[in-house]
């Protein structure tokens, strides 16, 4: 076991039943012996970003504490994505589940397979809105998540109350 680190994750999906993919992913994290699921946000609906000719996305954020290293956590995220049927065909294309590590403690790294904090986090409302719900005071690059959120347009990120209720019911 390594050093316990708090990590922030962003989850998204727009194929199949993304909410069920979120539930399965959160169960996988909570059931892992080196991971403690601390908090998770509501579910938000957003228009596609990048490739716009695809279904709307559902997005949420989660905070966890882990004894895994950042690469081990990345591998776990990719295993969970694959279990949901994720196929990596095109960047910003449709997917059953996408799990991004947004932050891993205070680690700053720039590797081909993993950049932390996530390099586009501060420009994405669909990441900042759910993350601000559960960790507004989390500091990223010297600014709080709440401040980062306040600095961008987020009106296109809409709380999906029905999917949030489904999520909370499924997770007990």
Q: Which residues are designated catalytic?
A: 86, 95, 98, 100
Instruction: Say if strands 44-46 and 57-66 run parallel, antiparallel, or are unpaired.
Output: antiparallel
Torsion-angle region of 138 (φ positive above 0: left; ψ -120 to 50: alpha; else: beta) = beta
CA pair distance 161, 84, nearest whole angstrom: 23
Inter-residue contact 1 to 67 (CB < 8 Å): yes
How buried is residue 93: exposed, middle or buried, by Cβ count under 10 Å (0-12/13-18/19+)? middle
């Amino acid at each position: 076991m390594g050093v316990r680190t708090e990590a922030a994750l962003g989850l998204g999906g727009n194929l199949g039943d993304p909410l069920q993919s979120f539930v399965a992913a959160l169960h996988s994290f909570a059931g892992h012996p080196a991971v403690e699921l601390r908090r998770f946000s509501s579910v938000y609906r957003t228009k596609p970003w990048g490739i716009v000719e695809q279904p709307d996305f559902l997005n949420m954020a989660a905070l966890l504490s882990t004894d895994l290293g950042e690469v081990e956590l990345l591998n776990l995220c990719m295993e969970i994505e694959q279990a949901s049927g994720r196929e990596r065909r095109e960047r910003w294309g449709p997917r059953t589940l996408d799990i991004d590590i947004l932050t891993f403690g205070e680690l700053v790294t720039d590797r081909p397979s993993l950049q932390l904090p996530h390099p586009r986090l501060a420009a994405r409302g669909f990441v900042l809105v759910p993350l601000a719900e559960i960790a507004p005071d989390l500091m990223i690059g010297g600014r709080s998540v709440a401040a980062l959120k306040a600095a961008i347009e987020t009106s296109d990120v809409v709380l999906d109350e029905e999917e949030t209720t489904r999520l909370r019911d499924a997770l007990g």
